[in-house]
Chain A
Amino acid sequence: MRQLFNQLISFPYFFKIAQISFPYLFLLSILVILLGVLWGVFFSPVDVTQGEVYRIIYLHVPAASVAQSIYYTMVIASITYLIWRIKMASVFMISMAPLGAIFTFLALFTGAVWGQPTWGTWWVWDARLTSTLILLILYLAIISLFSSFDRRASTDQAVSIVVLIGGINLPIIKLSVEWWNTLHQSASITLSGSSIDNEMLIPLLISIFGFYLYVTAIGMRKMQVEILKREISHNWVKEIFIEKR
């Protein structure tokens, strides 16, 4: 276990693993997303209250789920960096932050498109929507912080602290719909079950799984690029590319 961990945080080893697995993972993620979304949009039944418009759930929920999960993993990475100074943790944060921003934006956008016909408004300042907007701003702040220091180590330190502090927002997003009156409804899928009919739930779960696969694949690719940027002058990089030739 310890050995596996040490291998995964070593740049050359991770680079090779990512190099091999990226194409399969990427292709698989596209297929799974297509399966989930197309099934959901064309073959799942019509909702009794919302009609056809509910089908945007097959993009909205996966995007929102991924957007929050990325931040959770970044919080873990920030603690890892702050305590053990593992460089892979900062590579992880810098690679995942843009993905988090994109999916948070997608969640907000699909939410607006969904809210207009169902609620009668595309945006309100309720606790769920506002805390999600704050998540987007946090991601953007983290991204801009990465390019605002000269020394690598100060950047990684500063970013880790900001990521950790921003983690306060995560339980607020999660619990906003339980604790306060909001326009956004409570969670449909919880640990105790789901209030979505199975025929609609199965394609949704497939779509969520596909989004996670996609983020894993793209995240690995972005980490490879970041590793190359940092290690360009190292021998193992040269060896890999000379081998290729």
Chain B
Amino acid sequence: MRTKRRNRVIFVSSLVASLSVAFIFIVLAMNENVDFYYTPSDLTSSKIINKDSLRIGGLVQEDSIKISKDSLKTNFLVTDLENSIEVYYEGILPNLFKENSGVIARGFYDYSDGIFYAKEILAKHDENYIPKEVKKALVNDS
């Protein structure tokens, strides 16, 4: 009885040990390709990412949004606070799209003119939740 249980303990611990190794390998493999988007620095750095469709993410740079008056054409800069990239998009923007807030654009990066031609824009919000009234008070104080 005792040896049986010992065998089971050995079985479970070896299973857990091999799972931990598997976990490390999975995470290392995922590190290569699991990122949902590239940052502007990834694109402007030396390695050229030549994909027909890729995503870039970052913050919408302050005072960079230019919306055409008579069409849905939009230009803005996406920044990761080190580098920024100009994005061109024609279409409807999500509600949370605004300056200094997160954005993810899917499209094609043209290295020749340095413009990212977006087919889809997603808004990314942060993990902070602040009541409107509190925010107003904070702004008035400062």
Contacts and interface: CB of A to CB of B under 8 A. Distances in A.
Say whether A and B bind each other: yes
Interface of A: 44-50, 54, 57, 79, 82-85, 117-121, 124-127, 161, 164-165, 167-168, 171-172, 179-183, 185-188, 195-197, 199-201
Interface string B108-142: 00000000000011111111111111110000000
A243 B103 CA distance: 66
Given A83-B5, A118-B95, A164-B19, A180 B122 contact: no
A119 B12 contact: no
A40 to B, nearest CB: 11
Contact of A46 (B31, B121, B131): B131
B12 A195 contact: no
A168 B26 contact: yes
Contact of B15 (A125, A164, A186): A164
A46 B26 CA distance: 40
8 contacts: A82-B12, A119-B94, A119-B122, A121-B122, A171-B23, A179-B27, A188-B128, A201-B129
Nearest to A127: B34
A45 B134 CA distance: 9
B15 A161 contact: yes
Contact of B34 (A117, A168, A180): A180
B73 interface: no
A45 B135 CA distance: 11
B22 A48 contact: no
By size class, the interface of chain B is: 35 or more
Contact of A47 (B30, B94, B132): B132
B125 A124 contact: no
B101 interface: yes
Given A127-B36, A164-B12, A172-B23, 9 more contacts: A50-B129, A79-B12, A83-B5, A168-B26, A172-B30, A180-B30, A185-B125, A188-B127, A197-B129
A118 B125 CA distance: 8
Contact of B124 (A119, A195, A201): A119
Given A118-B94, A181-B57, A186 B127 contact: yes
Contacts of B124: 119, 183, 185
B94 A120 contact: yes
Contacts of B26: 168, 172
In this complex, the member of A45, A48, A121, A201 whose beta carbon has the largest number of chain B beta carbons within 10 angstroms is A48
A154 B123 CA distance: 49
Q: 5 closest Cβ contacts across the A-B interface?
A: A45-B131, A120-B94, A126-B36, A48-B135, A196-B129
B39 A181 contact: yes
B19 A181 contact: no
